[in-house]
């Protein structure tokens, strides 16, 4: 039995090699490991040197939309990746990520008190709830001075609070399909209100804008 050490994400990974293990070193800076056991376990592992300039890590979502179902192999092929890992739980019917999702420094799905993995600038992996470091929740104030919580982002709407929809949502906003008392506020990139819509069909979100959706009282 041999003991091998690999540098992975600024940490030492110790792998005990067993008879019958399959290793693939055909891709520079990437090692692929496969092991089957009698438990039964079917173990696949990628060992990647992220500090090497020839490698990079990218987060993608199904169909490149907040709501999009797609198998991992198709996502990898579309983004020309040499390997892909399914890393988040998603809604079965529409493929919505269940946890925090950030792509290119932009929030796609707000945190919902589920664990998520992230990487620092020094390529150190961190897994946690993240909400103990920053607070996603926001408040807006209407013309009468009443405050309203903005709780969700690009997700199903709870009628007790506001949900923010961005271009990454990938579809028209829910509109009146949610409730008979729906109001949608289109907000521009300069934070000015461009349109207020009540009980109308959903709209495609204009480029650079976002939409706040909630319920109003009769």
Model pLDDT, residue 17: 67
Task: Identify whether 143 is part of a domain.
Answer: yes
SS3 string of 129-146? CCCCCCCCCEEEECCCCC
Q: Do 123 and 143 share a domain, yes or no?
A: no
Model pLDDT, residue 132: 62
Mean pLDDT of the chain: 78
pLDDT-based confidence at 195, cuts 50/70/90? Answer: very high
Task: Identify whether 56 is part of a domain.
Answer: no
Q: Do 70 and 33 share a domain, yes or no?
A: no
Q: Do 143 and 197 share a domain, yes or no?
A: yes
Task: Identify whether 57 is part of a domain.
Answer: no
Q: Which of 87, 109, 128 is the last residue of a domain?
A: 128
Higher local confidence (pLDDT), 10 or 30: 30
Q: Do 66 and 120 share a domain, yes or no?
A: yes
Residues 135-165, buried b or exposed e (16+ Cβ, 10 A)?
eeeeeeeeeeeeeeebbbbbbebeeeebbbb
Task: Identify whether 54 is part of a domain.
Answer: no
For 116, the domain range is 62-128
Q: Provide the domain count of the chain.
A: 3
Residue 181, pLDDT > 60, answer yes
Residue 50 and residue 13 in contact, taking contact as beta carbons nearer than 8 Å? no
pLDDT-based confidence at 188, cuts 50/70/90? Answer: very high
Q: Do 153 and 205 share a domain, yes or no?
A: yes
- Spatial neighbors of 164 by CB under 8 A, at least 6 apart, are 150, 152, 153, 154, 210, 211, 212, 213
Task: Identify whether 133 is part of a domain.
Answer: no
Task: Identify whether 164 is part of a domain.
Answer: yes
Which helix (H) or strand (E) segment holds residue 47: the answer is: strand 42-48
Residue 145, pLDDT > 60, answer yes
Q: Do 121 and 144 share a domain, yes or no?
A: no
CB atoms within 10 A of CB 193: 10
Q: Do 143 and 189 share a domain, yes or no?
A: yes
Q: Do 203 and 143 share a domain, yes or no?
A: yes
Positive or negative: CA dihedral 125, 129, 131, 136: positive
Nearest partner of 45 among 58, 31, 56, 59, judged by Cα: 31
The model's pLDDT over 71-115, given as tens digits with 9 standing for 90+, comes to: 889 989 999 988 888 877 776 656 667 778 888 878 888 776 777
Q: What is the pTM of this model?
A: 0.66
Q: Which of 102, 128, 154 is the last residue of a domain?
A: 128
Q: Do 147 and 120 share a domain, yes or no?
A: no
Q: Do 110 and 150 share a domain, yes or no?
A: no
Q: Do 122 and 142 share a domain, yes or no?
A: no
Task: Identify whether 55 is part of a domain.
Answer: no
Model pLDDT, residue 74: 92
Q: Do 124 and 143 share a domain, yes or no?
A: no
Q: Which of 128, 155, 175 is the last residue of a domain?
A: 128
Task: Identify whether 171 is part of a domain.
Answer: yes
């Amino acid at each position: 039995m041999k003991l091998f050490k690999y540098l992975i994400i600024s940490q030492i990974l110790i792998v005990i090699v067993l008879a019958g293990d399959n290793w693939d070193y055909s891709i520079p800076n990437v090692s692929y490991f496969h092991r089957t056991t009698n438990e039964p376990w079917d173990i696949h592992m990628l060992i990647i040197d992220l500090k090497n300039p020839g490698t990079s890590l990218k987060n993608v979502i199904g169909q490149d939309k907040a709501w999009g179902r797609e198998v991992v192999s198709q996502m990898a092929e579309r983004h020309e990746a040499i390997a892909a890992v399914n890393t988040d739980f998603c809604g079965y019917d529409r493929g919505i990520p269940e946890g925090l999702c950030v792509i290119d420094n932009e929030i796609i799905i707000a945190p919902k008190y589920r664990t998520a993995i992230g990487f620092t600038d020094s390529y150190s992996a961190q897994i946690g709830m993240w909400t103990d470091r920053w607070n996603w929740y926001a408040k807006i104030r209407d013309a009468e001075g009443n405050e309203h919580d903005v709780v969700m982002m690009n997700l199903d709407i709870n009628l007790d609070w506001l949900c923010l929809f961005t271009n990454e949502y990938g579809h028209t906003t829910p509109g009146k399909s949610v409730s008979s008392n729906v109001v949608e506020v289109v907000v521009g990139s300069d934070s000015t209100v461009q349109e207020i819509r009540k009980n109308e069909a959903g709209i495609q979100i204009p480029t650079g804008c976002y939409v706040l959706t909630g319920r109003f009282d009769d």
